[in-house]
Structure 1
Amino acid sequence: MKALRIKLRQASASYACEETVNNKTSYTLPPFSTVIGAIHNACGYREYKQMKISVQGKYLSSQREVYVNHGLIDNLHDDRGILIWLPDPDSLNTGFVSVAKALNGTGNSFKNRVTINVLDEIKLEEYSNLYRMKETLDEYSVREIKPQKERLKEREKLLKEMGKVDKSSAQYKAFSEEVKAEKEVVKRLEEEFEKRKWQEYDEPRSHFKTLTKGPQTWEVLYDVELVLHVQASDEVLKDILEHRNDLVCLGRSEDFIDLLEMKLVELTDKIDDEYRMLKDYSIYVNVDRMEDETYFKESKNEKALGTVYYVSKEYRIEKNSRVFNRIPCLLTSNLAVDADSSGKGVYLDQEGDITYLVDLN
């Protein structure tokens, strides 16, 4: 079976665990999704390409580094953080304009210009005008729409009472038509108001966000060495080879790689001898293959130990959120296979005196 073997080094890298926030920890090996994302980005893919991944490697040391975290608060706040304006309200990627900065912990106000440092006078005036527009719209709703809605509610109540007496009467039918027509008028007024509110307030306001800054830490690995195997269609493998120079980072955008090797290799699941992992290397092994005793440690009577992770792979979009397919894998080392492991899902990549155990997921 054909596959790509990719050997690389990284001076530093952090493969963030999704569940950690304030103090981000790192997986000791990149998840499958990290590798797949880097490959798709290098090849310029906009749709997911089927592929299986094997990840193994080592690192020399790790420590926590301090960084300044920039985070958007879910709701726009008038009294804290930094008021910013986004050209694209759904993304920070297009950059943003800093409008004003709150100076105190409490008691600030951007719209009233209380204890703030103004950074963009034009945008701050636009922000303040939006609040005045909101007041105007609220006043219009109370003055023009609310009375008609209350009148309609009373007339619907009266119509219901009339219906209890005689729904077949000419008076009931005539009054029913009047209420129906009035209901259409109120519905049209509400729709026109919502459209106006969106255009004049909601949409312009969505460009303003509250940005917070604060020191946080993340775990960084140093002197990382990885061996990746990618199994996919011939077309995809060819694409990856052609874009080898576009594979520049793995993990964070600043986690640059030193590509040592990328070549097509032949994998085999025919195992005729005992083979062990490279010294100090760890690997993600599918839990199912551990339960099938495909691998063993020092002897066949000793099972491998490690930590089980639900390693993310591909994802689907549900309600504007990524939902990952997670594969239970044992992160372990010091593994071995022999002839009894043949045909059980483990592969060998042999080149000279070096043999890599390959666990594709």
Structure 2
Amino acid sequence: MKSIRLKLKQNLVNYKLPTSFQLKETYPLPPYSTVIGMVHNTCNYIEYKPMKISVQGKYHSKVNDLATRYEFKNGMTFDASRHQIKVGEYGISRGVSNVELLSDVELVIHIVPEDENLIEEIFNAFKAPHEYISLGRREDLVVVDEVKIVEISEERIKDENLRIDRDYRAYVPVEIIDKKKVFVEGSVDTIQYKGTMYNLTKDYVSVNYGSAKSPKFFRKWNKIKVHYVSNIVASRRRAITVDEDRYMVFLA
């Protein structure tokens, strides 16, 4: 099976937690939906292309910064006493918020489209993008260190030397750890859940919760339960997915 492997760097970035508001907190690595959005934007796709993603990487530190915040209520007309911006008849409030940023981010991302014919198309889009590539917010620019088409396969590990980079962490779907394909070095066996658990968004379908005459569409997200862990070592004699350069791959 073929995959596109990306090695990316970012300076300051926010992968926003959807439940954070006053302080716009960030995930430690980009969730699957964010990566899929980057791929679709880079390739100019206007309809969803199913794909599997693996994400691992690291960052140096977290810092807080100020950002402009815009708020509006649907249908609220402009009121000079509370709104700073007028758009047509409607009002928008402008203020200050705090945003959490990761610094000096490095990422290794594997992309496996369901349609293998898209491999070359995605590869070429990242080799010669039509505009600058961003991951996270629109202003979170990406430096592409490597774009490579690699073969990935399942292998039974004969030794315990296969591990991710010591400084790196990864999103590992729970079933991979539950099936003991990998283990977290230094963890306590009696602890059921290793690392930090996340329910990461991947893709969605639009569901109409209204009626045919008055439709109200909402996104129903497909979420993947993962462990965010470091010190990942392949279990001996267990089949684990790796690429041709011996990078472990945790597809979801």
Please report the TM-score for the alignment, with normalisation by the length of structure 2: 0.87
Matching residue of 1:356: 247
Structure with the larger RCO, 1 or 2 (CA within 8 Å, 6+ apart): 1
> 1:139-177, CA deviations, whole angstroms, 9 ceiling, x for partnerless residues?
xxxxxxxxxxxxxxxxxxxxxxxxxxxxxxxxxxxxxxx
Instruction: Tell me how far apart the structure 1 counterparts of residues 163 and 231 of structure 2 sit (CA, whole Å).
Output: 7
Selected match of 2:206 from 311, 317, 321: 317
Look up the equivalent residue of 2:248 and give its one-letter code: L
Per the alignment, in what secondary structure is the counterpart of residue 340 of structure 1?
coil
Matching residue of 1:250: 135
Offset at residue 300 of structure 1 (A): 9.6
Larger Rg: 1
1:214 matches 2:99: no
1:295 matches 2:186: no
CA contact (8 A) 1:49 1:236 kept: no
Matching residue of 1:327: 224
Per the alignment, in what secondary structure is the counterpart of residue 263 of structure 1?
strand
Per the alignment, in what secondary structure is the counterpart of residue 356 of structure 1?
coil
Instruction: Tell me how far apart the structure 2 counterparts of residues 298 and 357 of structure 1 sit (CA, whole Å).
Output: 15
Look up the equivalent residue of 1:334 and give its one-letter code: N
Matching residue of 1:285: 172
Offset at residue 298 of structure 1 (A): 2.5
Instruction: Tell me how far apart the structure 1 counterparts of residues 233 and 29 of structure 2 sit (CA, whole Å).
Output: 19
Matching residue of 1:139: none
Go from structure 1 to structure 2 and tell me whether the alpha carbon gap of 1:222 and 1:312 turns closer, same or farther (over 3 Å shift): same
CA contact (8 A) 2:32 2:201 kept: yes
Go from structure 1 to structure 2 and tell me whether the alpha carbon gap of 1:301 and 1:211 turns closer, same or farther (over 3 Å shift): closer
Question: What stretches of structure 1 of length at least 5 have no aligned partner?
Answer: 86-206
Q: Tell me the matched-pair count.
A: 234
CA contact (8 A) 2:204 2:219 kept: yes
Matching residue of 1:72: 72
Offset at residue 301 of structure 1 (A): 7.4
Please report the TM-score for the alignment, with normalisation by the length of structure 1: 0.61
Go from structure 1 to structure 2 and tell me whether the alpha carbon gap of 1:213 and 1:276 turns closer, same or farther (over 3 Å shift): same
Instruction: Tell me how far apart the structure 1 counterparts of residues 124 and 17 of structure 2 sit (CA, whole Å).
Output: 31
Offset at residue 241 of structure 1 (A): 1.2
> 1:168-219, CA deviations, whole angstroms, 9 ceiling, x for partnerless residues?
xxxxxxxxxxxxxxxxxxxxxxxxxxxxxxxxxxxxxxx5222001110111
CA contact (8 A) 1:83 1:208 kept: no
CA contact (8 A) 1:305 1:332 kept: yes
| More helix by percentage | 1
Instruction: Tell me how far apart the structure 1 counterparts of residues 187 and 93 of structure 2 sit (CA, whole Å).
Output: 55
Instruction: Tell me how far apart the structure 2 counterparts of residues 279 and 299 of structure 1 sit (CA, whole Å).
Output: 12
Per the alignment, in what secondary structure is the counterpart of residue 29 of structure 2?
coil
1:240 matches 2:242: no
Within-5 A mapping of 1:114-263: 207-232=88-113, 233-244=115-126, 245-246=128-129, 248-263=133-148
Identity %: 34
Instruction: Tell me how far apart the structure 2 counterparts of residues 236 and 208 of structure 1 sit (CA, whole Å).
Output: 45
Matching residue of 2:27: 27
Matching residue of 1:84: 86
1:13 matches 2:13: yes
Within-5 A mapping of 1:338-349: 338-342=235-239, 346-349=240-243
Offset at residue 238 of structure 1 (A): 1.4
Look up the equivalent residue of 1:2 and give its one-letter code: K
CA contact (8 A) 2:197 2:226 kept: yes
> 1:295-349, CA deviations, whole angstroms, 9 ceiling, x for partnerless residues?
112279747721110001011122333221111111111111134321xxx3112
Matching residue of 1:189: none
> 1:59-114, CA deviations, whole angstroms, 9 ceiling, x for partnerless residues?
011111111111222341453213522xxxxxxxxxxxxxxxxxxxxxxxxxxxxx
CA contact (8 A) 2:2 2:119 kept: no
CA contact (8 A) 1:284 1:359 kept: yes
Question: What stretches of structure 2 of length at least 5 have no aligned partner?
Answer: 208-215
CA contact (8 A) 2:9 2:107 kept: yes
CA contact (8 A) 1:73 1:212 kept: no
